[in-house]
Amino acid sequence: MQLSALIGSDVSLPPEGEATEIVGLTADSRAVRPGFLFAALAGTKADGAQFVPQALAQGASAILIETGVAVSAPVPVIADRNPRRRLALMAAKFYGKQPRTIAAVTGTNGKTSIVTFLRQIWVSLGLDAASLGTVGIVSARGERDLGATTPDPVTLQAALASLADEGVTHLAMEASSHGLAQFRMDGAKVTAAAFTNITRDHLDYHHDFEDYAYAKLRLFGEVMGPGGVAVLNADATHFAEFEAVSWARGHRVISVGRKGRGICLVAARPGTRGQSLDVIHEGRNFKIELPLIGAFQASNALVAAGLAIGCGAQADKVFAALENLQGAKGRLEEVAHLPNGASVYVDYAHTPDALANLLEAMRPHTDRQLVVIFGCGGDRDPGKRPQMGDVASKLADIVYVTDDNPRGEQADAIRAAILATAPNAIEIGDRGHAIDLAMRSLSAGDVLVVAGKGHETGQIIGNKTVPFSDHLAIADAEARIVAEAGGGA
Protein backbone atom coordinates (compact mmCIF):
# COMPACT_ATOMS: atom_id res chain seq x y z
CA MET A 1 0.00 0.00 0.00
CA GLN A 2 1.31 3.46 -0.86
CA LEU A 3 2.23 5.65 2.08
CA SER A 4 -0.04 8.47 0.91
CA ALA A 5 -3.08 6.14 1.03
CA LEU A 6 -2.02 4.72 4.37
CA ILE A 7 -1.79 7.97 6.30
CA GLY A 8 -4.82 9.76 4.85
CA SER A 9 -5.40 13.24 3.49
CA ASP A 10 -4.85 15.08 6.77
CA VAL A 11 -1.08 14.51 6.66
CA SER A 12 1.12 16.11 4.03
CA LEU A 13 4.07 14.30 2.52
CA PRO A 14 6.81 15.54 0.25
CA PRO A 15 6.10 14.50 -3.37
CA GLU A 16 8.91 11.95 -3.33
CA GLY A 17 7.35 10.22 -0.35
CA GLU A 18 3.78 9.80 -1.61
CA ALA A 19 4.51 6.77 -3.77
CA THR A 20 6.58 5.00 -1.12
CA GLU A 21 5.33 1.43 -0.91
CA ILE A 22 4.68 0.09 2.59
CA VAL A 23 4.56 -3.69 3.02
CA GLY A 24 4.24 -3.86 6.80
CA LEU A 25 3.90 -1.88 10.05
CA THR A 26 5.57 -2.32 13.42
CA ALA A 27 6.52 -0.47 16.59
CA ASP A 28 9.21 -3.07 17.34
CA SER A 29 12.51 -2.23 15.66
CA ARG A 30 13.53 -5.89 15.85
CA ALA A 31 10.58 -6.81 13.62
CA VAL A 32 11.36 -4.29 10.87
CA ARG A 33 11.80 -5.75 7.39
CA PRO A 34 12.53 -4.03 4.06
CA GLY A 35 9.55 -1.88 3.11
CA PHE A 36 8.15 -1.56 6.66
CA LEU A 37 6.98 1.59 8.38
CA PHE A 38 8.55 1.85 11.83
CA ALA A 39 6.57 3.65 14.53
CA ALA A 40 9.10 5.13 16.95
CA LEU A 41 6.84 5.36 19.98
CA ALA A 42 7.87 6.58 23.41
CA GLY A 43 7.44 3.81 25.99
CA THR A 44 7.59 3.63 29.77
CA LYS A 45 11.10 2.15 29.69
CA ALA A 46 12.58 3.22 26.35
CA ASP A 47 12.03 5.83 23.63
CA GLY A 48 11.45 4.32 20.22
CA ALA A 49 13.31 7.21 18.58
CA GLN A 50 16.61 5.73 19.71
CA PHE A 51 15.91 2.63 17.62
CA VAL A 52 15.41 4.52 14.35
CA PRO A 53 18.99 3.78 13.14
CA GLN A 54 18.41 0.07 13.71
CA ALA A 55 15.08 0.22 11.85
CA LEU A 56 16.71 2.02 8.93
CA ALA A 57 19.54 -0.50 8.83
CA GLN A 58 16.92 -3.26 8.55
CA GLY A 59 15.22 -1.59 5.59
CA ALA A 60 12.49 0.66 7.01
CA SER A 61 10.85 2.69 4.24
CA ALA A 62 9.17 5.26 6.50
CA ILE A 63 9.27 6.47 10.10
CA LEU A 64 6.39 7.60 12.32
CA ILE A 65 7.37 9.85 15.24
CA GLU A 66 5.78 12.25 17.69
CA THR A 67 5.69 15.90 16.67
CA GLY A 68 8.74 17.70 18.06
CA VAL A 69 11.04 14.67 18.06
CA ALA A 70 14.03 15.26 15.83
CA VAL A 71 14.90 12.38 13.53
CA SER A 72 17.22 12.42 10.55
CA ALA A 73 16.44 9.74 8.01
CA PRO A 74 16.76 9.19 4.23
CA VAL A 75 13.13 8.01 4.12
CA PRO A 76 9.81 9.83 4.67
CA VAL A 77 9.33 10.87 8.30
CA ILE A 78 5.74 11.40 9.48
CA ALA A 79 5.32 13.57 12.58
CA ASP A 80 2.06 13.28 14.49
CA ARG A 81 0.89 14.74 17.81
CA ASN A 82 -0.56 11.33 18.69
CA PRO A 83 1.55 8.71 16.90
CA ARG A 84 -0.05 5.83 18.84
CA ARG A 85 -3.49 6.67 17.52
CA ARG A 86 -2.07 7.31 14.05
CA LEU A 87 -0.49 3.85 14.05
CA ALA A 88 -3.83 2.28 15.01
CA LEU A 89 -5.64 4.07 12.20
CA MET A 90 -2.91 3.16 9.72
CA ALA A 91 -3.06 -0.49 10.79
CA ALA A 92 -6.83 -0.50 10.19
CA LYS A 93 -6.31 0.84 6.67
CA PHE A 94 -3.42 -1.51 5.96
CA TYR A 95 -5.35 -4.68 6.86
CA GLY A 96 -8.68 -3.35 5.66
CA LYS A 97 -11.07 -6.04 6.92
CA GLN A 98 -12.97 -6.49 10.18
CA PRO A 99 -15.98 -8.52 11.33
CA ARG A 100 -19.05 -6.45 10.52
CA THR A 101 -20.26 -6.46 14.14
CA ILE A 102 -17.79 -5.75 16.95
CA ALA A 103 -18.89 -5.48 20.58
CA ALA A 104 -16.27 -4.26 23.05
CA VAL A 105 -16.41 -4.68 26.82
CA THR A 106 -14.55 -2.58 29.37
CA GLY A 107 -14.52 -2.49 33.17
CA THR A 108 -12.35 -3.68 36.03
CA ASN A 109 -14.04 -7.05 36.38
CA GLY A 110 -16.19 -9.28 34.19
CA LYS A 111 -14.76 -8.58 30.73
CA THR A 112 -13.62 -12.12 29.96
CA SER A 113 -16.87 -13.70 31.14
CA ILE A 114 -19.02 -11.28 29.16
CA VAL A 115 -17.20 -11.72 25.85
CA THR A 116 -17.30 -15.48 26.38
CA PHE A 117 -21.03 -15.38 27.09
CA LEU A 118 -21.73 -13.09 24.13
CA ARG A 119 -19.85 -15.38 21.76
CA GLN A 120 -21.89 -18.34 23.04
CA ILE A 121 -25.16 -16.42 22.61
CA TRP A 122 -24.32 -15.48 19.03
CA VAL A 123 -23.25 -19.04 18.20
CA SER A 124 -26.55 -20.37 19.61
CA LEU A 125 -28.34 -18.01 17.21
CA GLY A 126 -26.51 -19.52 14.26
CA LEU A 127 -23.98 -16.72 13.78
CA ASP A 128 -20.27 -17.19 13.06
CA ALA A 129 -18.85 -15.55 16.18
CA ALA A 130 -15.56 -15.22 18.01
CA SER A 131 -14.23 -13.66 21.21
CA LEU A 132 -10.92 -11.88 21.75
CA GLY A 133 -9.25 -10.99 25.02
CA THR A 134 -7.33 -12.28 28.01
CA VAL A 135 -7.61 -15.94 27.02
CA GLY A 136 -6.79 -15.19 23.37
CA ILE A 137 -9.00 -15.62 20.32
CA VAL A 138 -11.72 -18.24 20.55
CA SER A 139 -13.84 -19.22 17.55
CA ALA A 140 -15.33 -22.29 15.91
CA ARG A 141 -11.88 -22.86 14.43
CA GLY A 142 -10.17 -23.22 17.80
CA GLU A 143 -8.19 -21.05 20.18
CA ARG A 144 -5.02 -19.03 19.71
CA ASP A 145 -3.01 -16.87 22.08
CA LEU A 146 -2.58 -13.11 21.64
CA GLY A 147 -0.20 -12.30 24.50
CA ALA A 148 -2.30 -9.41 25.85
CA THR A 149 -5.93 -8.61 26.69
CA THR A 150 -5.91 -5.86 24.06
CA PRO A 151 -2.87 -6.45 21.80
CA ASP A 152 -0.89 -3.76 20.00
CA PRO A 153 -2.84 -2.20 17.11
CA VAL A 154 -0.92 -3.98 14.35
CA THR A 155 -1.47 -7.40 15.94
CA LEU A 156 -5.09 -6.49 16.67
CA GLN A 157 -5.88 -5.37 13.12
CA ALA A 158 -4.14 -8.40 11.65
CA ALA A 159 -6.31 -10.59 13.90
CA LEU A 160 -9.49 -8.74 12.90
CA ALA A 161 -8.67 -9.18 9.21
CA SER A 162 -7.91 -12.85 9.73
CA LEU A 163 -11.22 -13.40 11.50
CA ALA A 164 -13.08 -11.61 8.72
CA ASP A 165 -11.33 -13.78 6.13
CA GLU A 166 -12.40 -16.87 8.09
CA GLY A 167 -16.02 -15.78 7.84
CA VAL A 168 -16.49 -14.46 11.38
CA THR A 169 -19.22 -11.83 11.30
CA HIS A 170 -19.63 -11.14 15.03
CA LEU A 171 -16.77 -10.44 17.44
CA ALA A 172 -16.91 -9.87 21.19
CA MET A 173 -13.68 -8.34 22.47
CA GLU A 174 -12.24 -7.06 25.73
CA ALA A 175 -11.07 -3.46 25.94
CA SER A 176 -8.43 -3.08 28.65
CA SER A 177 -7.55 0.23 30.24
CA HIS A 178 -3.98 -0.10 28.93
CA GLY A 179 -5.26 -0.74 25.42
CA LEU A 180 -7.64 2.22 25.56
CA ALA A 181 -5.07 4.58 27.09
CA GLN A 182 -2.57 3.62 24.40
CA PHE A 183 -5.11 4.01 21.55
CA ARG A 184 -4.70 0.39 20.42
CA MET A 185 -8.42 0.04 19.60
CA ASP A 186 -8.92 3.31 17.76
CA GLY A 187 -8.97 1.63 14.36
CA ALA A 188 -11.63 -0.92 15.34
CA LYS A 189 -15.15 -0.27 14.05
CA VAL A 190 -17.01 -0.85 17.30
CA THR A 191 -20.76 -1.40 16.94
CA ALA A 192 -21.63 -1.74 20.63
CA ALA A 193 -19.76 -1.24 23.89
CA ALA A 194 -20.38 -2.35 27.45
CA PHE A 195 -19.31 -1.08 30.87
CA THR A 196 -19.25 -3.57 33.75
CA ASN A 197 -17.84 -1.77 36.78
CA ILE A 198 -14.82 0.23 37.83
CA THR A 199 -12.79 -0.20 41.01
CA ARG A 200 -9.15 0.15 42.02
CA ASP A 201 -6.79 -1.58 39.57
CA HIS A 202 -3.66 -0.90 37.50
CA LEU A 203 -2.67 2.16 39.52
CA ASP A 204 0.93 1.09 38.94
CA TYR A 205 0.36 2.25 35.34
CA HIS A 206 -2.32 4.93 35.51
CA HIS A 207 -1.45 8.15 37.33
CA ASP A 208 -4.53 7.94 39.56
CA PHE A 209 -8.05 6.60 39.62
CA GLU A 210 -9.35 9.48 37.49
CA ASP A 211 -6.82 8.66 34.79
CA TYR A 212 -7.87 5.01 34.95
CA ALA A 213 -11.56 5.94 34.68
CA TYR A 214 -10.89 8.25 31.74
CA ALA A 215 -9.24 5.41 29.84
CA LYS A 216 -12.42 3.35 30.26
CA LEU A 217 -14.62 6.27 29.20
CA ARG A 218 -12.66 6.61 25.96
CA LEU A 219 -14.39 3.51 24.62
CA PHE A 220 -17.74 5.33 24.69
CA GLY A 221 -16.63 8.91 24.07
CA GLU A 222 -13.94 8.46 21.41
CA VAL A 223 -13.41 4.92 20.11
CA MET A 224 -17.01 3.95 19.26
CA GLY A 225 -18.40 6.27 16.62
CA PRO A 226 -21.53 8.35 17.29
CA GLY A 227 -24.80 6.44 17.30
CA GLY A 228 -23.52 3.16 18.70
CA VAL A 229 -25.06 0.98 21.40
CA ALA A 230 -23.92 1.45 25.00
CA VAL A 231 -24.80 -1.36 27.44
CA LEU A 232 -24.16 -0.14 30.98
CA ASN A 233 -24.31 -1.85 34.36
CA ALA A 234 -26.76 0.42 36.16
CA ASP A 235 -25.78 -1.00 39.56
CA ALA A 236 -22.13 -0.01 39.21
CA THR A 237 -20.50 2.97 40.84
CA HIS A 238 -19.77 5.63 38.19
CA PHE A 239 -22.68 4.43 36.03
CA ALA A 240 -23.86 8.04 35.75
CA GLU A 241 -20.57 9.19 34.18
CA PHE A 242 -20.65 6.47 31.55
CA GLU A 243 -24.31 7.16 30.83
CA ALA A 244 -23.65 10.89 30.41
CA VAL A 245 -20.78 10.33 27.99
CA SER A 246 -22.86 7.83 26.03
CA TRP A 247 -25.83 10.19 25.71
CA ALA A 248 -23.53 13.03 24.67
CA ARG A 249 -22.05 10.82 21.95
CA GLY A 250 -25.52 9.94 20.66
CA HIS A 251 -25.43 6.29 21.62
CA ARG A 252 -28.49 4.17 22.31
CA VAL A 253 -28.22 3.32 26.02
CA ILE A 254 -29.34 -0.04 27.43
CA SER A 255 -28.97 -0.01 31.21
CA VAL A 256 -28.80 -3.42 32.89
CA GLY A 257 -29.19 -4.65 36.47
CA ARG A 258 -31.47 -4.22 39.44
CA LYS A 259 -31.60 -0.51 38.64
CA GLY A 260 -31.64 -1.15 34.90
CA ARG A 261 -34.26 0.39 32.65
CA GLY A 262 -33.34 -1.66 29.58
CA ILE A 263 -32.99 -5.05 31.27
CA CYS A 264 -34.16 -5.03 34.88
CA LEU A 265 -33.19 -7.86 37.20
CA VAL A 266 -36.18 -8.20 39.49
CA ALA A 267 -35.06 -11.25 41.47
CA ALA A 268 -32.30 -13.83 41.67
CA ARG A 269 -32.72 -17.06 43.62
CA PRO A 270 -29.52 -19.08 44.19
CA GLY A 271 -29.54 -22.83 43.66
CA THR A 272 -26.99 -25.53 44.26
CA ARG A 273 -25.10 -24.93 41.02
CA GLY A 274 -27.02 -22.13 39.38
CA GLN A 275 -29.67 -19.48 39.93
CA SER A 276 -33.15 -18.50 38.78
CA LEU A 277 -33.53 -14.97 37.42
CA ASP A 278 -36.67 -12.87 36.94
CA VAL A 279 -36.07 -10.19 34.32
CA ILE A 280 -38.15 -7.43 32.73
CA HIS A 281 -37.31 -6.16 29.24
CA GLU A 282 -39.51 -3.74 27.32
CA GLY A 283 -42.49 -4.54 29.52
CA ARG A 284 -42.17 -8.32 29.19
CA ASN A 285 -41.32 -10.74 31.99
CA PHE A 286 -38.71 -13.43 31.46
CA LYS A 287 -37.71 -16.29 33.74
CA ILE A 288 -34.18 -17.55 33.20
CA GLU A 289 -32.54 -20.63 34.70
CA LEU A 290 -28.92 -19.52 34.63
CA PRO A 291 -26.44 -22.41 35.08
CA LEU A 292 -23.91 -20.16 36.81
CA ILE A 293 -23.55 -19.17 40.44
CA GLY A 294 -22.86 -15.73 41.86
CA ALA A 295 -24.59 -12.36 41.62
CA PHE A 296 -21.80 -10.96 39.47
CA GLN A 297 -22.21 -13.81 36.97
CA ALA A 298 -25.89 -12.93 36.69
CA SER A 299 -24.83 -9.35 35.99
CA ASN A 300 -22.26 -10.48 33.42
CA ALA A 301 -24.82 -12.70 31.66
CA LEU A 302 -27.35 -9.87 31.44
CA VAL A 303 -24.75 -7.42 30.11
CA ALA A 304 -23.91 -9.99 27.42
CA ALA A 305 -27.63 -10.31 26.68
CA GLY A 306 -27.90 -6.52 26.38
CA LEU A 307 -25.09 -6.47 23.82
CA ALA A 308 -26.70 -9.24 21.79
CA ILE A 309 -30.07 -7.46 21.82
CA GLY A 310 -28.44 -4.12 21.09
CA CYS A 311 -26.75 -5.65 18.04
CA GLY A 312 -30.09 -6.84 16.67
CA ALA A 313 -30.89 -10.23 18.19
CA GLN A 314 -34.41 -11.08 19.39
CA ALA A 315 -34.77 -10.78 23.15
CA ASP A 316 -36.66 -14.04 23.71
CA LYS A 317 -34.01 -16.03 21.83
CA VAL A 318 -31.20 -14.27 23.70
CA PHE A 319 -32.69 -14.95 27.14
CA ALA A 320 -33.31 -18.57 26.17
CA ALA A 321 -29.64 -18.86 25.20
CA LEU A 322 -28.58 -17.78 28.69
CA GLU A 323 -29.84 -21.10 30.05
CA ASN A 324 -27.04 -22.94 28.21
CA LEU A 325 -24.10 -20.69 29.05
CA GLN A 326 -20.79 -22.17 30.11
CA GLY A 327 -18.44 -20.14 32.30
CA ALA A 328 -15.13 -18.84 31.01
CA LYS A 329 -12.05 -20.79 32.03
CA GLY A 330 -10.81 -19.68 35.43
CA ARG A 331 -13.82 -17.50 36.12
CA LEU A 332 -15.81 -18.87 39.09
CA GLU A 333 -15.13 -22.31 37.64
CA GLU A 334 -15.78 -25.46 39.65
CA VAL A 335 -12.75 -27.66 39.00
CA ALA A 336 -13.03 -30.34 41.69
CA HIS A 337 -15.68 -32.08 43.77
CA LEU A 338 -14.05 -34.18 46.48
CA PRO A 339 -15.23 -37.59 47.71
CA ASN A 340 -16.56 -36.01 50.91
CA GLY A 341 -18.71 -33.53 48.96
CA ALA A 342 -16.50 -30.42 49.28
CA SER A 343 -16.08 -28.27 46.17
CA VAL A 344 -13.09 -26.36 44.78
CA TYR A 345 -13.38 -23.35 42.49
CA VAL A 346 -10.86 -21.26 40.54
CA ASP A 347 -11.34 -17.56 39.87
CA TYR A 348 -9.24 -14.74 38.40
CA ALA A 349 -10.18 -12.23 41.14
CA HIS A 350 -7.09 -10.13 41.78
CA THR A 351 -8.49 -6.83 43.06
CA PRO A 352 -10.16 -6.01 46.38
CA ASP A 353 -13.56 -5.50 44.76
CA ALA A 354 -13.31 -8.67 42.67
CA LEU A 355 -12.30 -10.72 45.71
CA ALA A 356 -15.19 -9.30 47.73
CA ASN A 357 -17.66 -10.04 44.94
CA LEU A 358 -16.29 -13.55 44.61
CA LEU A 359 -16.57 -14.41 48.29
CA GLU A 360 -20.01 -12.84 48.62
CA ALA A 361 -21.13 -14.81 45.57
CA MET A 362 -19.90 -18.08 47.04
CA ARG A 363 -21.41 -17.64 50.50
CA PRO A 364 -25.01 -18.66 49.54
CA HIS A 365 -23.60 -21.83 47.96
CA THR A 366 -21.53 -22.78 51.01
CA ASP A 367 -23.16 -25.02 53.62
CA ARG A 368 -20.23 -24.99 56.05
CA GLN A 369 -16.91 -23.14 55.78
CA LEU A 370 -15.78 -20.82 52.97
CA VAL A 371 -12.02 -21.10 52.41
CA VAL A 372 -9.94 -18.86 50.15
CA ILE A 373 -6.37 -19.01 48.84
CA PHE A 374 -4.89 -15.92 47.22
CA GLY A 375 -1.83 -13.73 46.86
CA CYS A 376 -0.92 -10.48 45.12
CA GLY A 377 1.30 -9.81 42.13
CA GLY A 378 4.67 -8.13 42.46
CA ASP A 379 5.53 -4.88 40.65
CA ARG A 380 1.81 -4.04 40.67
CA ASP A 381 -0.19 -1.56 42.78
CA PRO A 382 1.05 -2.38 46.32
CA GLY A 383 -1.77 -0.38 47.89
CA LYS A 384 -4.34 -3.08 47.18
CA ARG A 385 -2.49 -5.77 49.20
CA PRO A 386 -3.74 -4.79 52.67
CA GLN A 387 -7.18 -4.11 51.19
CA MET A 388 -7.38 -7.65 49.86
CA GLY A 389 -6.20 -9.07 53.19
CA ASP A 390 -8.96 -7.14 54.93
CA VAL A 391 -11.60 -8.35 52.46
CA ALA A 392 -10.54 -11.98 52.80
CA SER A 393 -10.43 -11.93 56.60
CA LYS A 394 -13.91 -10.42 56.80
CA LEU A 395 -15.68 -12.54 54.18
CA ALA A 396 -14.01 -15.97 54.38
CA ASP A 397 -13.91 -18.40 57.30
CA ILE A 398 -10.36 -19.61 56.60
CA VAL A 399 -7.74 -17.66 54.65
CA TYR A 400 -4.51 -18.93 53.08
CA VAL A 401 -2.06 -16.29 51.88
CA THR A 402 0.30 -17.58 49.22
CA ASP A 403 2.32 -16.36 46.24
CA ASP A 404 0.77 -15.09 43.02
CA ASN A 405 3.28 -13.70 40.50
CA PRO A 406 5.99 -12.11 42.68
CA ARG A 407 7.89 -10.84 39.62
CA GLY A 408 10.78 -8.63 40.73
CA GLU A 409 9.71 -8.27 44.38
CA GLN A 410 10.45 -10.41 47.40
CA ALA A 411 7.53 -12.80 47.77
CA ASP A 412 7.62 -12.76 51.56
CA ALA A 413 7.33 -8.95 51.59
CA ILE A 414 4.20 -9.14 49.43
CA ARG A 415 2.67 -11.72 51.75
CA ALA A 416 3.56 -9.59 54.77
CA ALA A 417 1.65 -6.63 53.33
CA ILE A 418 -1.44 -8.82 52.96
CA LEU A 419 -1.05 -10.40 56.40
CA ALA A 420 -0.95 -6.97 58.03
CA THR A 421 -4.74 -6.90 57.72
CA ALA A 422 -5.31 -10.65 57.86
CA PRO A 423 -3.42 -11.67 61.01
CA ASN A 424 -5.25 -14.97 61.39
CA ALA A 425 -4.48 -16.14 57.86
CA ILE A 426 -2.35 -19.20 57.21
CA GLU A 427 0.82 -18.23 55.32
CA ILE A 428 2.20 -20.76 52.82
CA GLY A 429 4.43 -19.31 50.12
CA ASP A 430 4.43 -22.35 47.84
CA ARG A 431 1.13 -22.07 45.97
CA GLY A 432 0.89 -25.76 45.10
CA HIS A 433 1.56 -26.75 48.70
CA ALA A 434 -1.07 -24.26 49.91
CA ILE A 435 -3.64 -25.77 47.55
CA ASP A 436 -2.82 -29.32 48.67
CA LEU A 437 -3.08 -28.51 52.39
CA ALA A 438 -6.26 -26.49 52.00
CA MET A 439 -7.97 -29.25 50.03
CA ARG A 440 -7.00 -31.86 52.62
CA SER A 441 -8.61 -29.73 55.34
CA LEU A 442 -12.01 -29.58 53.61
CA SER A 443 -15.08 -31.31 54.99
CA ALA A 444 -18.52 -31.96 53.55
CA GLY A 445 -20.25 -28.67 52.77
CA ASP A 446 -17.01 -26.68 52.59
CA VAL A 447 -16.09 -24.60 49.55
CA LEU A 448 -12.53 -23.67 48.61
CA VAL A 449 -11.84 -20.81 46.20
CA VAL A 450 -8.38 -20.43 44.69
CA ALA A 451 -8.21 -16.81 43.52
CA GLY A 452 -5.93 -14.60 41.50
CA LYS A 453 -4.50 -16.54 38.58
CA GLY A 454 -7.56 -18.05 36.93
CA HIS A 455 -6.68 -19.44 33.51
CA GLU A 456 -2.94 -18.68 33.74
CA THR A 457 -0.47 -21.51 33.17
CA GLY A 458 2.71 -19.85 34.45
CA GLN A 459 4.03 -18.14 37.58
CA ILE A 460 6.34 -15.16 37.12
CA ILE A 461 9.25 -15.28 39.56
CA GLY A 462 12.00 -12.76 38.97
CA ASN A 463 12.46 -12.51 35.23
CA LYS A 464 11.37 -16.08 34.55
CA THR A 465 7.97 -17.67 34.01
CA VAL A 466 7.80 -21.16 35.48
CA PRO A 467 4.99 -23.57 34.56
CA PHE A 468 2.18 -23.44 37.08
CA SER A 469 -1.57 -23.90 36.79
CA ASP A 470 -4.12 -23.72 39.59
CA HIS A 471 -6.19 -26.22 37.59
CA LEU A 472 -3.36 -28.76 37.44
CA ALA A 473 -2.36 -28.22 41.08
CA ILE A 474 -5.96 -28.86 42.15
CA ALA A 475 -6.24 -31.91 39.91
CA ASP A 476 -3.00 -33.34 41.33
CA ALA A 477 -4.17 -32.76 44.92
CA GLU A 478 -7.58 -34.27 44.14
CA ALA A 479 -5.96 -37.37 42.65
CA ARG A 480 -3.84 -37.85 45.77
CA ILE A 481 -6.84 -37.36 48.08
CA VAL A 482 -8.97 -39.83 46.09
CA ALA A 483 -6.15 -42.39 46.02
CA GLU A 484 -5.61 -42.09 49.76
CA ALA A 485 -9.37 -42.52 50.28
CA GLY A 486 -9.24 -45.81 48.41
CA GLY A 487 -10.01 -44.55 44.91
CA GLY A 488 -13.75 -44.14 45.40
CA ALA A 489 -15.64 -40.93 44.77
The pLDDT tens digits for 265-298 are 999 998 767 899 999 999 999 999 999 988 889 9
For residue 13, which phi and psi values (nearest 5 degrees)?
A: -125, 150
Q: pLDDT for 11-21, tens place per residue?
A: 777 776 778 99
Q: pLDDT for 166-225, tens place per residue?
A: 999 999 999 988 889 899 999 999 999 999 988 754 444 445 567 878 889 999 999 999
Other C-beta atoms within 10 Å of 321: how many? 22
Other C-beta atoms within 10 Å of 369: how many? 16
What amino acid is encoded at 259 in this protein?
K
Confidence band, pLDDT 50/70/90 cuts, at residue 249: very high
What count of residues does the chain have?
489
Return all residues near 50 (Cβ < 8 A) that are at least 6 apart.
Answer: none
Task: Give the SS3 label for residue 175.
Answer: coil
Average confidence (pLDDT) over 368-394: 96
> What is the dihedral angle through the alpha carbons of 240, 245, 250, 252, rounded to the nearest 10 degrees?
-40
Percent of residues, the chain, with pLDDT higher than 90: 76
Confidence band, pLDDT 50/70/90 cuts, at residue 331: confident
- pLDDT, mean over the chain: 92
Cross-strand partners of 252: 229
Cα end-to-end span (Å), the chain: 63
Task: Compute the distance between CA of residue 39 and CA of residue 54 in angstroms, rounded to an integer.
Answer: 12
Please, what sign has the CA dihedral across residues 478, 479, 483, 484? negative
Confidence band, pLDDT 50/70/90 cuts, at residue 135: confident
pLDDT, residue 205, reads: 47
Return all residues near 76 (Cβ < 8 A) that are at least 6 apart.
Answer: 3, 13, 14, 16, 17, 20, 61, 62, 63
Task: Compute the distance between CA of residue 125 and CA of residue 331 in angstroms, rounded to an integer.
Answer: 24
Task: Compute the distance between CA of residue 202 and CA of residue 430 in angstroms, rounded to an integer.
Answer: 25
pLDDT, residue 420, reads: 97
Task: Compute the distance between CA of residue 339 and CA of residue 341 in angstroms, rounded to an integer.
Answer: 5
Q: Count of alpha carbons within 13 Å of 131, Cβ hemisphere only?
A: 23
Q: How far is CA 255 from CA 264, 283, 358, in A?
A: 8, 14, 23
Average confidence (pLDDT) over 403-417: 97
> What is the dihedral angle through the alpha carbons of 19, 22, 23, 29, rounded to the nearest 10 degrees?
150
Domain annotation for the chain: domains and CATH numbers: 3-93 (3.40.1390.10), 96-324 (3.40.1190.10), 333-484 (3.90.190.20)
pTM of the model: 0.82
Number of H helices, E strands in the chain: 16, 23
Task: Give the SS3 label for residue 207.
Answer: coil
